[in-house]
Amino acid sequence: MEQLSGKVVVVTGAASGIGLALAKKFGAEGMKVVMADIEVPALEIAAASLPDSVERITVVCDVSKGEQIDALRVAAIDAFGAVHVVCNNAGVGGGGAMSDMNIDDWKWVIDVDLWSVIHGVRVFLPGLIEQGEGHIINTASVAGLFSAPFMGPYNVAKYGVVALSETLCNELAMQQSEVGVSVLCPSWVKTKIASSVRNKPGATAEEADALAEFVQPMIDGGIDPDTVADRVVEAVKAKQFWIITHDDTPGAVTLRTRSILDGTNPPQLMH
């Protein structure tokens, strides 16, 4: 999609981080923006931070629930009449030793990080195909390309997003569709993912502190969300599938691929 001005973009997880950066960048391209998030006050503050010239609406949405993604599409169509770009971006962090994790730990991360993308594709794809243009961006992670320890649920979810996106890319190509798909695989970015446990039902302060202590130093050294958003906009215009944000990612992927080809144990890589 080379021409974005006047089109409509839906962004989940739009209250902060990469999602907010995407909303601002697509808005700067002249797009009408549908901003979705589960955190009401933060969502309204984020929407107010966009320039007055950007047409936007906010939709409170728990992306782990399919019916709320259905309602998100209805709200977008009611407001702007169409949807052209969909950023399935909302996500949470979660981890720990697999020997210590319970089913609720797994379910929360996978529901938000993988099922939300499944629902987003299910709900928005038919309309994009029918109108003959559009683009879907699924936010995965380098955690969908190689697996660091103590991040089991997150790795599983992000591998799923990569697999879903690759499958969709191949299907669209076979159908000779004009709809594009990209998978975003960033490494550390300066976002609030270290504190995402704040939205986990029943989470304890100790659980939140443990996650923050583990990942916050890496996040503090990460890249700016605006840099990620720039690459996403470029990928949509160029109909580019892979969106890689860090220079060290190809080397890590090569090491993992080499272990597969050589039949050796996977390398111990950190994101």
Indicate the SS3 state at residue 160. helix
- Cα 255 to Cα 10: distance, rounded to the nearest angstrom: 36
> Do residues 216 and 194 make contact, with C-beta atoms less than 8 angstroms apart?
yes
Cβ of 184: how many Cβ atoms within 10 Å? 26
Cβ of 49: how many Cβ atoms within 10 Å? 10
- Residue found under tokens 């993308």: 117
Residue 154 annotated among the catalytic residues of the structure: yes
Q: Show the tokens assigned to 239.
A: 């109909």
- Residue found under tokens 């089109």: 7
- Cα 59 to Cα 47: distance, rounded to the nearest angstrom: 10
Alpha carbon of 56 to those of 33, 36, 164: distances in Å?
5, 11, 29
Indicate the SS3 state at residue 81. coil
Q: β-strand 32-37 against 8-12: which pairing, if any? A: parallel
In a 10 Å sphere around its CB, with 0-12 CB exposed, 13-18 middle and 19+ buried, how is residue 32 labelled?
Answer: buried
Residue 6 backbone class (left: φ over 0; alpha: ψ -120 to 50; beta: rest): left
Catalytic option among 26, 154, 159, 188: 154
Alpha carbon of 258 to those of 102, 152, 157, 162, 221: distances in Å?
33, 22, 23, 19, 28
Catalytically active residues, by annotation:
154
